[in-house]
Structure 1
Amino acid sequence: MMLRVAGLKDLDNNAKNEIEVTDEDGQLSIPNAKRMLKWLAEGVRRALELGSGSDTPKDVNALLNLLLISMGQVYIDTALDAAADLATSQETIKSEPDISYLPSLQPAITITNIMSRFINTVLIRLAEPNTTVRRGMELQTKAAVERIESKTNTIVRSTITVVLNWITRLLANQKKADFRPKDSELEGTRGVPGYLETLQTATCASICTFLTKVAKAAAQAIDGQNLEVFSCELATSVRDLLFEHFKKFQVNATGGLMVAKDMSRYVSTLKDWPLSKEAEGGVELLSEIGNFFIIGPEALRERSRNFQTGGVGRKLQKADFRAFIFRRDDSGSVGIQSVLAGL
C-alpha cells in the first residue's frame, strides 16, 4: 500500500502480487515521502471521524507504529544500510573509491526531519489525553530518530576512513625521484607557457582531483555545522598525512619549487571547503613547509626563531623544522649547517 502511494505502480496486470521496480525506486525521494505522509494524514482524519475521543490516543499510536516501520525502517533505514555497506566495502579498495552513495544522506536527513515534525505536531498532540500512550510514543520516536542519526554518522565516519585510506595509497605511490628532477628532464619546457605547471607532481594532481570530488559529494549530503565539522576533520587529517609525507623525500633546488607548487595546490584545494578559522590556519601550515625547501639560509634562520620547543596541534616545532631542512640536498652546506646548529 505504502509503495503504491509513493508512486510505484504494478506494471503487470496479470500478476497483482508482484511489483516491478527499478534501481531508481530504491533511491530515497522527498516527494514520495511527502506523499506517504499525506496518506497517513488522511488515515488520521478518518480515525478521528470514525472513532470515539477515548480511542484517539490508541489509534494514533497504531498509526505511529505504521509510520516508523514503513517510513523509518523499510524506507530510510534500508537506504542507509545500503549506503553504509557500500562505504564499508571501499575502506580497503585498491581503485578510486566510488562515493556516489554520499549524497543519499541528504534526502534521508530531510525525510527524517519531516517525519519527526509530523509526529510531534500531529500524532503526539492527539495522544495528549493519555499520558502513558503519549510518553510511549515520544520514546518510540526518539529511538527511531536516534537510530537513523547513528547510521548517518556511521556513514560519514566510514567515508572519512575511505577518503584517508585512498589518499594514503596515492601518497605511497609518490616516486622517490619526484622532488629530485634532473635539469635535462625539464629542459624542453623552460621558457614556454605552462612551465610552472610541469613542476606539479602527478600524485598531487590525483589527490586534489579526488578531494574536489569528495567536497562536492559532501556538500550534496550535509550542510551547515555538520558540513563544517566533516570538512575540518578531513582537512586536518589530510594536512597531517602531508606533514609526515614530505619528511620522507630528498629535495634538490628544482624539487623545492615542485614541493612549493604541490603545497600551494593542496592548500588551495582544502581552503575551498567550509573550514573553521582554526582548521584553515592548520592548512596554511603546509604553505610554510613548502617555503622551507626554496628559501635561503638567512630566511631559514629568521623562521627558526619563531618555533616552539613544545606544543600540540597545528604548531610547527623545531624538531619538525629540522626534519624538513635535513631533506634539502644542500643541507650539508655551511649556510644551512649554521642554521641547524643554532636551533
Structure 2
Amino acid sequence: MAIAALIGRGENENAASGLLHEFLNRCCDDLFESYVAGDNYINVERGHFRDAVRQALQPFVRAREERQTSARGNAFLGIFTSVPLGTANADKQQTESHGTVTVGTASFLLQIHAETVARAIELESAGAVSDAVAELFGVLISLIGDSYVFPALDDVAESLQDLRQEPDLRTFGVIRVSNVVTRLLQVHFERIVLPYVGTNSHLYRDLVGEKNHLMSRVETSLNFITNKLVSACVQWIASILNRQRRTDFKPAEDDAASFHMGTQSCNQCTDFLTHVTDACRDNMDRENRERVLGDIGSALYRMLIEHFKKFIISVSGGLVLLRDVARYRETIDRFQIPSLSDRFIVLQEISNIFVVSSNSLKSLLEDGTLAHVDRQTFQAFVQRREDYRLSPDVKRHVATL
C-alpha cells in the first residue's frame, strides 16, 4: 500500500502525488545540501566562471605570447589580423582576430556570464540571489578588463610607438570595437544584472561604481591611443614631406607630368590622408572624427607653410605648387570642417605669389584673401621666388610691401 501510494496508484492518487513530490525534494536536499549550503555553491560557481573565461581567452593569450616572443620588428603585426577598418563587415568578422578586442569574443564572455547568473538564480536561495549576482558581475568586470580589454589596448598603444613606420589605420577599427564592447557591457548590466540587484541597494551603487570605473579606464585608454595615432599620422606625413625633391618646384619647361600630376610627395600625402578620412568615417562618431581630422589637418597646414619656405620656386614651379595645393585643398575639403577648409584657401592664395609678376605682388597682398596674412609671412614667401635674388625690381617691390 505504501509503495502504491508512492508511485501514485490506488484510491488516494492526489495524496500519493504529494508524498512523491515531498519524497523527491527531500532526496534532492540530501544529495545536494553539501554543495549549496553556505558559500559552497557560489564559490564553486565563481571558480567555474573564471575557468570558463580563461578557456575562452586562450586564443587571445596565445596570440599575445607569440607576438611577445617574435622579433621586435614584427612583434605587433598580429594585432590587426583580419580586424576590419569599416563597419560594413565588422559584425561578420568577429571570430577573426585573436590578437585584439573583438565583439565576438566579448559577446561570448557575456554569454558565459549570463549562463552563470541563470544557474545562480536557480540554485541559490531567494535571499542570496542578489549577493550572488552582484559577486558574479564583479568577477566579470575584473576578468573582462584586466585579462582582456586592457592588455589588448596596451598592445595597440605599444604598436604606435615606432613613429618611423606608417601607422596601421586598422587601429581606428580597434577604437570602434572597444567602444562597442563597453556599450554591450552596459546593455548586459541592465538586462542580466539590474533586475536582481535593484536600484536602491548598496549592491547597486557598488556595481555601478565598478562598471563605470571600467568604462572610464577604457575611455582613457582609447583617448591615449587616439592621440598616439594622430601623432603617428602627423609624423608619417612629415616624413613624406621630408622626401620632397629640391627640383620639384623648379621643373624643366618640358616636364609636362609635373604640371598635370603634381609632385610625388603631395600624391603620397593626399592618398594617405584619404585613407585616414575613410577610416575615421567608418569608425568614429562625428564629434571624435572632427577632433581627429581637425588635429591632423591643422598640423598639415602648419607643416606646409614651413615646408614651402624651404624651396626656391620658379614660375613653372609655381604652377606645380598650385597643382599640389589644389590637391591638398580637395583632400582637406573631404574632412568637412569649414574652418580648416578656409585655411587651405589661404594656402592656395599664397601659392599665387610664385606665378604673378612682381608688379602684382602689392595688389595680391592688399586686395585678396592674403590681406589677412601678416607681412612677415608674405615677404618670407616672396623671397622664395626664383627671381628674388636675380632681380633688383623684385627686391624693391618686396621692400615696399
TM-score > 0.5, shorter chain as reference: yes
- What is the RMSD computed on CA atoms of the aligned residues? 3.0
| Partners of 2:199 and 2:347 in 1: CA distance | 62
Q: What is the 5 A alignment of 1:121-200?
A: 121-128=191-198, 131-183=201-253, 187=254, 189-190=255-256, 196-198=259-261, 200=262
3-state secondary structure, aligned to 1:26: coil
* 375, 378, 383: which one aligns with 1:318: 375
Q: Which has the higher helix share?
A: 2
Q: 1:52 to 1:269 in 2, by over 3 A?
A: same
Residue equivalent to 2:171 = 101
Residue equivalent to 1:252 = 314
Residue equivalent to 2:117 = 44
| Partners of 1:340 and 1:308 in 2: CA distance | 18
Q: 1:339 to 1:40 in 2, by over 3 A?
A: same
* 353, 358, 363: which one aligns with 1:302: 363
The answer to whether the 8 Å contact 1:297/1:336 transfers is yes
Shift of 1:141: 1.1
Residue equivalent to 1:80 = 153
Aligned length in residues: 315
Structure 2: gaps spanning 5 or more residues: 1-51, 60-78, 82-96
3-state secondary structure, aligned to 2:387: coil
The answer to whether the 8 Å contact 2:172/2:279 transfers is yes
Shift of 1:156: 0.9
* 249, 252, 273: which one aligns with 1:211: 273
* 213, 226, 234: which one aligns with 2:296: 234
Letter in 1 for 2:128: D
Letter in 1 for 2:318: G
Letter in 1 for 2:204: R
Larger radius of gyration: 2
| Partners of 2:300 and 2:370 in 1: CA distance | 24
Q: 1:223 to 1:66 in 2, by over 3 A?
A: same
Q: 1:138 to 1:72 in 2, by over 3 A?
A: same
**CA deviations over 1:307-340 (Å, ceiling 9, x no partner):** 8999xxxx63221111111111223546644543
**CA deviations over 1:147-179 (Å, ceiling 9, x no partner):** 111111111111111111222222222222321
3-state secondary structure, aligned to 2:249: coil
The answer to whether the 8 Å contact 1:116/1:145 transfers is no
| Partners of 1:134 and 1:302 in 2: CA distance | 71
Residue equivalent to 2:88 = none
Structure 1: gaps spanning 5 or more residues: 9-21
The answer to whether the 8 Å contact 1:164/1:238 transfers is yes
Letter in 1 for 2:350: I
1:280 aligns with 2:341: yes
| Partners of 2:270 and 2:332 in 1: CA distance | 8
Shift of 1:299: 4.3
**CA deviations over 1:215-252 (Å, ceiling 9, x no partner):** 33333432321111111111111111111111121111
Could you say which structure has the greater relative contact order, defined with CA pairs below 8 angstroms and 6 or more residues apart? 1
| Partners of 1:232 and 1:29 in 2: CA distance | 28
| Partners of 1:259 and 1:56 in 2: CA distance | 72
| Partners of 2:396 and 2:276 in 1: CA distance | 44
Letter in 2 for 1:117: V
Q: 1:7 to 1:34 in 2, by over 3 A?
A: farther
